[in-house]
Structure 1
Amino acid sequence: MSETPTQLYLISPEDVDGAFPQRLERALAAGKGTVTAFQFRVKGVDDQHRLADLAKPLQAACAAHDVAFVVNDSVPLAKRLKADGVHLGQGDGDPKEAREELGRDVQIGVTCHASKHLAMEAGEAGADYVAFGAFFDSTTKDKGEAERPTLETLEWWSGLFEIPCVAIGGITPGNCGPLVEAGADFIAVSGAVWNGDEVAAVEAFAAAIADADARKAAKDA
């Protein structure tokens, strides 16, 4: 099981125009030491130039705060932006091909839903992290997913593998504790931060994660 404290992985809302770069800046400042990754996840825009324009101020904010900037779904956009990482859904391409395209230094994450088999396949294909979810009802994860991962999924993965795992889907400061204690290396959140006061939300997550990490450390001692 990882000895590194669990970290927060922010995922963008679909609308990142307007005041969102300033909101991200505030969230990253509030999350110093807790927020270590941000995923650019904008659906419904096919124009790569437009996506790149939307991404650049967010990427700059991440760089200023030493936070990894990850592109969702698109290897070409990740390559164009020289992003720190790319996150692949099950239909978004092979991690091996993404590695060939993007090089060794780019982090590659793979959505594995509730499947231990998919997670092992992703690890064998060279993924740098695997993501399990949705753990709870979510506005961003597919509501059609029949099976949910469990705490046992996280315990199993973190007990056997060195590759980090991400928990995602409907996670809030109030329900993240058991996921941290079960071994999630990252807690990925979107609506719980952006649907309200992002600073208060990030601070609440940081406190909840720290409490759960302390309980996990005491249990493992």
Structure 2
Amino acid sequence: MDAPACRLYLITPPTLPDLGAFAACLEQALDAGDVAALQIRLKDVDDQAIARAVEVLAPLAQPRGVAVILNDRPDLAARLGCDGVHVGQQDASYGEARRSVGRQGMVGVTCHDSFHLGLETAEAGADYVAFGAFFDTATKPASHRAEPELLTAWQAAMLTPCVAIGGITVQTAEGLARAGADFLAVSAGVWDYPEGPAAAVRAFNTAMQQGAARRTG
């Protein structure tokens, strides 16, 4: 039987002051190893800036088989040709997101540290649920703290994929993959990696493969 997989889910930095430079950095990262998805998550910018980011980054990701997910904005995700949208509990509802992107688009939902919330979301039809934050993160203030045991319980009971998010580094990736994460959502852990994002993608993939291979239950 093949070992379970755990894959990398990249998230952009919250600001991209030099979109061209980031695009070059992203291209190197995507060519360095397996990446399942790229979430474009920009804060405090207007719709035009979001559209420009999608226009530049999607053509780098999608031809490489990397799904482009837009954060928070189902309306823009549908209009800009993204593969899906990710919504939080204070954003658009799952139903609103699904209506915007249709049955063919992906909808992921933040479920914090709640198995019950994840269950309700999965039963509604979400393509994945995201749990976290697992560790402290400077990227986004975390009001909930999830434990690896939540991933193990989810993996044992549910088929809907789960994403672990929040302060994940190369050093903590193996443990979360072993606990049961299907995907690890990472931002600063890749973009701020001392040896560069390409090296980070390689290191994350090695750690996730080791963790998933040791998964039990």
Q: Shorter-chain-normalised TM-score: which range? A: over 0.9
Contact 2:3-2:213 at 8 Å conserved across structures: no
Map 1:1-221 to 2 at 5 A. Answer: 4-16=4-16, 17-31=19-33, 34-46=34-46, 48-143=47-142, 145=143, 147-196=144-193, 197-216=196-215, 219=216
One-letter amino acid of the structure 1 residue matched with residue 188 of structure 2? G
Structure 1 residue 148: deviation in Å?
1.3
In the TM superposition, residue 41 of structure 1 has moved relative to its aligned partner by 0.3
SS of equivalent to 2:172: coil
Q: CA–CA distance in 1 between the matches of 2:5 and 2:123?
A: 25
How far apart, CA to CA, are the structure 2 residues paired with 1:152 and 1:206? 22
Distance 1:77 1:203, change over 3 A: same
CA contact (8 A) 2:180 2:212 kept: no
Alpha-carbon separation, structure 1, partners of 2:98 and 2:50: 22
Matched residue type, 2:35? V
Q: TM-score, normalised by structure 2?
A: 0.93
CA displacement, residues 132-169 of structure 1 (integer Å, 9 cap, x when unaligned): 011001112324x1x41111110111111100000011
- C-alpha distance in 2 between matches for 1:213 and 1:117: 24
CA distance in 1, matches of 2:126, 2:70: 15
Per-residue CA shift, 1:74-118, capped at 9, x if unaligned?
011101112101000101112122212211111100001111122
Contact 1:135 1:169 in 2 (8 A): yes
How far 1:3 moved relative to its partner? 5.6
What CA distance in whole angstroms lies between the structure 2 residues aligned with 1:119 and 1:215?
A: 25
Kindly report the root-mean-square deviation, in angstroms, between the aligned alpha carbons of the 2 structures: 1.5
Task: Report if aligned partners of 2:4, 2:213 keep a CA contact under 8 Å in 1.
Answer: no
The one-letter code of the counterpart of 2:78 is K
Taking the aligned partners of 2:155 and 2:165, their CA distance within structure 1 comes to 15
Amino acid in structure 2 at the alignment position of 1:110: V
The answer to whether the 8 Å contact 2:13/2:41 transfers is: yes
Aligned residues: 212
* Structure 1 segments of 4+ aligned residues over 6 angstroms from their partners: none
Q: In the alignment, is the contact (CA less than 8 A) between 1:134 and 1:141 conserved in 2? A: no
CA distance in 2, matches of 1:142, 1:120: 24
Q: Which runs of 5+ in 1 are unaligned?
A: none
Structure 1 length as normaliser, TM-score? 0.91
